Structure formats: C-alpha cells, structure tokens
Amino acid sequence: MRTWKRLFSCLLAGAMALSLAACGGNDSGATDGQTQEQAAPPADTGADTAAPETSGEETTAESGNVLVAYYSATGNTENIANYIAQATGGDLFEITPAEPYTSDDLNWSDENSRVSREYADESLRDVELTTTEVENWDSYDTVFIGYPIWWGIAAWPVDGFVEAN
C-alpha cells in the first residue's frame, strides 16, 4: 500500500481547456474556492472534445497510479475527464447521482427547478449517489476530481464522493 496520496482537485467547468501542468504544479490541493458568482450561467455548448490519441506513459511515471473521478451532468466534464485519463494512463470513475439530473432539473433560469431549489437551500444539496466506493482506492497516488461549476461553486453531487473518500 502506498504511504502517501496526493489529491488534486481540478475545476473542469465547461469547455475550459485544463492544463495538466497547471494541476500538477499545484500541490496545495483543492481549487474549488472559485468565487466567481454568476447570475446567468452560460449556455451549455455540448462541446465535442474527443480525447486525442496520446500515450500516458511519461505522466504516469511522475504521478504514480492515477484515478480520474468526475461528475458530469451534460457531458462536458466527462469529455475532459476522458482526455485526462488518456493523457495520464489513469482509471476513470464516474460519480452518479441515484436520481440523475434531467434537463428540466438543470434549468437554472427556473427558480422552481431542482437545481435552483438546491442552490437556494443548502440543506437540499446532500445528493444521494449510486456508490462512492472506488475499487482499489488505496492503490492510487493521484486523484483528479472533475465537476461542473454551478453558480460559481463545485456542482454539489461531487461533495458526497469527496466526503466519503
């Protein structure tokens, strides 16, 4: 079993290109302190950022065994997670709410939508997940965590995964 573990928390909002160098260089840990408040979130672009053909051999040697855990409601974070997993040779773990968010649930411009109600009342943000257990968790040296930004903070379905692990 490894005696140390580094946890990189990388904001993966939208089609934002996330540089591995930027994440790898920040050993201070979580970066979810993004304070940018935004009344009207940008429209989802559904960007099709297919993972390129790359070898993860060099980065794997530096980062050890890599896990890329992510929550993605509309696919953007998933695309970036695939990209990082491919570039690092890492394993993927999808964080999935027991009750997935529908497009109506995600309608931030409707104050009665699920996500708007959860945003307005923090006590509603404890989202049940299908599982938080990662097989062979102790074998990972580096864990990337990807999530969308919702109203300037990490989308809360990721919280239960972080707390459990």
For residue 41, state whether it binds ligand FMN (rule: CB under 6 A).
yes
Q: Which stretch binds ligand FMN (CB under 6 A): 19-27, 39-47, 92-100, 157-165?
A: 39-47
Q: Is 158 in the site for ligand FMN (CB under 6 A)?
A: no
- The verdict on 9 binding ligand FMN (CB under 6 A) reads no
Q: Binding-site residue total for ligand FMN (CB under 6 A)?
A: 21
SS3 161: helix
Q: How far apart are the first and last CA of the chain?
A: 16
Residue 13 engages ligand FMN in binding (rule: CB under 6 A)? yes
Q: Which two tokens stand for residue 117?
A: 């109600």
CB of 61 to ligand FMN, least distance (A): 29
Q: How far is the CB of 138 from ligand FMN (least distance, A)?
A: 28
Pairwise CA distance, residues 121 & 139, whole Å = 37
Alpha helices in the chain (DSSP H): 20-24, 57-63, 76-88, 114-120, 157-164
